[in-house]
Amino acid sequence: GIQVEQSPPDLILQEGANSTLRCNFSDSVNNLQWFHQNPWGQLINLFYIPSGTKQNGRLSATTVATERYSLLYISSSQTTDSGVYFCAVEGTFNTDKLIFGTGTRLQVFP
Amino acid sequence: EPEVTQTPSHQVTQMGQEVILRCVPISNHLYFYWYRQILGQKVEFLVSFYNNEISEKSEIFDDQFSVERPDGSNFTLKIRSTKLEDSAMYFCASGGDRDQPQHFGDGTRLSIL
């Protein structure tokens, strides 16, 4: 099956800093989503981005499907950005399940 | 914005008991999913459901588990004879189509004692 790797595994930032999170996947995908898991365990849907670039406020994401990676950019980070960021992909062959990466744990300090 | 709702938010059960986790997907969605996340680990797929039948299931989804859409709005996950290792956060998700994003509920935290 598809392998999904995220880097870095852990990231510690001071408030106001920018960061880039990476998601590599091993095969073609139909769907790619970025999620933020907050300290209460909720999975917040950030982006649905199988290809191209999208922006939402301080967050943006780019997926280069042909090179099998996606990037999540967080600018001017805030303490509320803390949590775990997951990338999840859906393969192309007769499946619609999401395969999650192991996540990037982000801690933002004031 | 429409949401996927899950109940209960937290369930504590004795080992060996049966539990039913409930989900109300977004109303016009056709694809339904259950995932689980053991504490500190990544989210894992359990089962997908479309047109009143299971379309795909993982190795985790053995005979202990079953899913049902008993009416036009609810989607349930039943776990029979629970084990300690079933303790996890269980997420329900729904999607409008296979090329559309999956929307997740807030999860049910299941604790088996």
Q: What is the pLDDT of residue B34?
A: 98
Contact assignment for B106 to A41 by CB distance below 8 Å? yes
Q: What is the pLDDT of residue B73?
A: 86
* Domain that residue B33 falls in: 5-112
At B12, the pLDDT band (50, 70, 90 cuts) reads very high
Q: What is the pLDDT of residue A96?
A: 82
Cis peptide before A50 (omega within 30 of 0): no
**Phi, psi (rounded to 5 degrees) for A52:** 85, -165
Q: Which residue numbers in chain A have pLDDT < 50?
A: none
Q: What is the pLDDT of residue B44?
A: 97
Mutation pick from B104, B106, B109 vs chain A, by most beta carbons of A within 10 Å, is B104
Q: What is the pLDDT of residue A18?
A: 97
Question: Mean pLDDT across the stretch B26-30?
Answer: 92
Mutation pick from A51, A97, A100 vs chain B, by most beta carbons of B within 10 Å, is A97
pLDDT at residue B1 greater than cutoff 90: no
What is the DSSP annotation of A40-81?
T--EEEEEE-SSEEEEETTEEEEEEGGGTEEEEEE-S--GGG
**Which residue of B lies nearest to A93 if distances are taken between CA atoms?**
B98
The alpha carbon of residue B71 is apart from the nearest alpha carbon of chain A, in Å, by: 23
Q: Which domains does chain A have, with CATH numbers?
A: 4-109 (2.60.40.10)
Please count the structural domains in chain B: 1
Q: Kindly tell me the number of DSSP H helices and DSSP E strands found in chain B.
A: 0, 11
- Taking only the tens place, the pLDDT of each residue in B61-113 is 999 999 999 887 899 999 999 999 999 999 999 999 877 899 999 999 999 99
- For the domain that residue B12 is a member of, what is the CATH number? 2.60.40.10
Question: Mean pLDDT across the stretch B17-41?
Answer: 95
Q: What is the pLDDT of residue B65?
A: 97
- Taking only the tens place, the pLDDT of each residue in A73-94 is 999 999 999 999 999 999 888 7
B101 interface with A at CB cutoff 8 Å: yes
The alpha carbon of residue A16 is apart from the nearest alpha carbon of chain B, in Å, by: 27
